[in-house]
A and B are shown apart, each in its own frame.
Chain A
Amino acid sequence: MPEEFRVLSMMHNIGAVTAERSLTVDELAQWTGMDAGTVKAYVQKLREDGYVEFVQISGIEKYHVTRTGIMKVLTLYS
């Protein structure tokens, strides 16, 4: 399984699926136990593929899984 997919799956499982529940790269790094640089690279790739969306809330960059991303994650478990 590609590593970025593991990040996508974790983002989904911790609930980062809407703008109001979006998380910063540092928060994602804490949740996933990865370093922030690695998380940032994966999130960037996921964003290019349409599975993750970027939002800016009070000037802070945050990310959440898109509807397509949710459906992609769920294929792992069905």
Chain B
Amino acid sequence: MRVAMLTWEYPPRIVGGIARHCEGLAKALAQQGHEVHVFSLDFPGAPDYEEQAGIRIYRTRSEVGHPNFLTWVLLFNHYIEKRMADTSKLVDFDVLHVHDWLSAPVGIAFKHFARKPLVFTAHSTEHGRSGLHIPDSFTIDGLEWWSTYEANKVIVTSASMKGEVCGHFHVSDSKVEIIPNAIDPTVYDGQVDKGAVRARWGIQPHEKLVLCVGRLVPQKGIEYLIHAVPILSRRRPETKFIIVGDGWYRDHLEYIANTSGQRWKITFTGFISDWDLVALTKSADVMVVPSIYEPFGIVALEGMAAGVPVVASQIGGLTEFIEHDRTGVFVYPRNPESISWGVDHVLSNPGHADWLVKNAREVVRKTYSWEAVAKRTAKVYKEVVG
């Protein structure tokens, strides 16, 4: 099968989970003998074209820009469409696979031009991410609806997202396939010197490290974790908190941290390297995922694979792969008291925490592999190609 995968982010251009998802899926599809062509945007330092593990990656520069985001999106879609048109003179794609609305215009146009089936993965919705309050949001919502309408098949990563897509866009149940996200657990196989890693981030041997990883945007609920810091500190003064990631909401989160009375306990790292993230995750005592909107929640899966107990909001896709008090601990979303309870629950019962980690690792390795996800995705391709 010759697959044209369209995504606005692909490593090293990494924003959220989409880049990782596309990379994992593309690699596994290529390993299973499919010919994968990834069309994405340029990124400083990354080549315009390269072949990686059998995947052909086309990074396209938008020659014309515009201060307005939506205008910019439509402009870059035009340049990707031009690149795809050139490539299609040499490659007869069997299927087009669009990830999220950002590259949907080119996918939809190409579907009609080349008469090829279109698969659309809805990783999240504008309605769920931020609600529909401003004109741009309504346009994005419209583009998302249009994508689900034009697609021969829609893929979502959780039952929660399926409900959202079918309910909000009035898509028929049979058109939407649930294929979960996955991770590469071997990334966490190496040994790290936990003491050295913790020392590097200012964590003393007697202190407990609570880790939170994610884009610093409201839907990740990080403010509720920060509000939990003073509560937890009363119960467990030895806890310290590291928040990894960056985003447009960071200034606000730092303001909340500054007014918490416990600022010295909270470190904002910004973006860090993949290796640093793996080392830090493996060295943490607890990972907290305090999201208030989470179509899947791949970061929790990463924590589970890394062997760190996960305390997560009982919300969205997280509820579909975490089992309370067996593979992780659920807390109420938007509830600092509950987050504080969850962390304390894990730290107070080291034996139980080890059992959670063991169970979680088993679930991740058995169920959430890219090999399985690629097989299920290829089945969808076959179905739409006919």
A76 at interface by CB-CB < 8 Å: yes
Number of interface residues of B (CB under 8 A): 33
CB-CB under 8 A from A78, the residues of chain B are 9, 15-16, 18, 100, 124, 215
B68 at the interface (CB under 8 A from A): yes
Residues A71 and B15 in contact, CB atoms below 8 Å apart: yes
| B45 CB–A CB distance under 8 Å | yes
Residues 80-128 of B at the A interface (beta carbon under 8 Å): 100, 102, 124
B64 within 8 Å of A (CB atoms): yes
B246 touches A71 (CB 8 A): yes
Distance A78 CA – B16 CA, assembled complex (angstroms): 7
Q: Which of B16, B44, B247, B248 contacts A70 (CB 8 A)?
A: B44
Taking CB atoms and an 8 Å cut-off, the chain B residues in 51-81 that contact chain A are: 62-69, 71-72
Cβ contacts A49-78/B at 8 Å (1 or 0 each): 010000000000000000110111111111
At the interface, yes or no: B270 with Cβ under 8 Å from chain A? yes
Contact of B43 with A by CB under 8 A: yes
Inter-chain contacts of A15 with B (CB < 8 A): 62-65
Q: A5-B248, A67-B43 are in contact. Are A75 and B67 (CB under 8 A)?
A: no
Set of chain B residues within 8 Å of A76, measured between Cβ atoms: 69, 217, 247-248
Contact A75 B69 (CB under 8 A): no
List residues of chain A with CB within 8 A of the CB of B43.
67, 70
Tell me whether chain B's interface is mostly helix, strand or loop, or mixed: loop
Interface flag for A39 (CB, 8 Å): no
Q: How far is the CA of A71 from the CA of B124 in the complex (A)?
A: 18
Chain B proximity of A6: nearest CB distance (Å) = 9
- Chain A residues near B248 (CB, 8 Å)? 1-2, 5, 72-73, 75-76
Partner of A74, one of B9, B63, B67, B249: B9
Q: How many A-B residue pairs have CB under 8 A?
A: 73
Measured between alpha carbons, how far is A14 from B246 in the docked complex, in Å?
Answer: 22
A20 to chain B, nearest CB (A): 10
Residue in A1, A14, A16, A75 whose Cβ sees the most chain B Cβ within 10 Å:
A75
Contact B215–A75 (Cβ < 8 Å): yes
Report the separation of the CA atoms of residues A43 and B330 in the bound assembly, to the nearest whole angstrom: 42
Report Cα–Cα, A71/B66, bound state, in Å.
18
Hey, which chain B residues are within 8 Å of A5, CB to CB? Answer: 248, 251
**CB-CB nearest in chain A for B12:** A67
B277 on interface, CB distance cutoff 8 Å: no
Which residues of A have CB within 8 Å of B16? Answer: 75, 78
| Contact indicator A75/B65 (Cβ below 8 Å) | no
Give chain A residues whose Cβ lies under 8 Å from the Cβ of B15: 71, 74-75, 77-78
Please, which residue of chain A has its CB at the minimum distance from the CB of B140?
A77
**Chain B: minimal CB distance from A47 (Å):** 15
Q: List 30 A-B contacts (CB under 8 A).
A: A5-B248, A9-B69, A13-B67, A13-B71, A13-B72, A14-B65, A31-B67, A32-B67, A67-B43, A67-B44, A67-B45, A68-B246, A70-B44, A71-B14, A71-B246, A71-B271, A72-B248, A75-B16, A75-B215, A75-B216, A75-B246, A75-B247, A75-B248, A76-B69, A76-B217, A76-B248, A78-B16, A78-B18, A78-B100, A78-B215
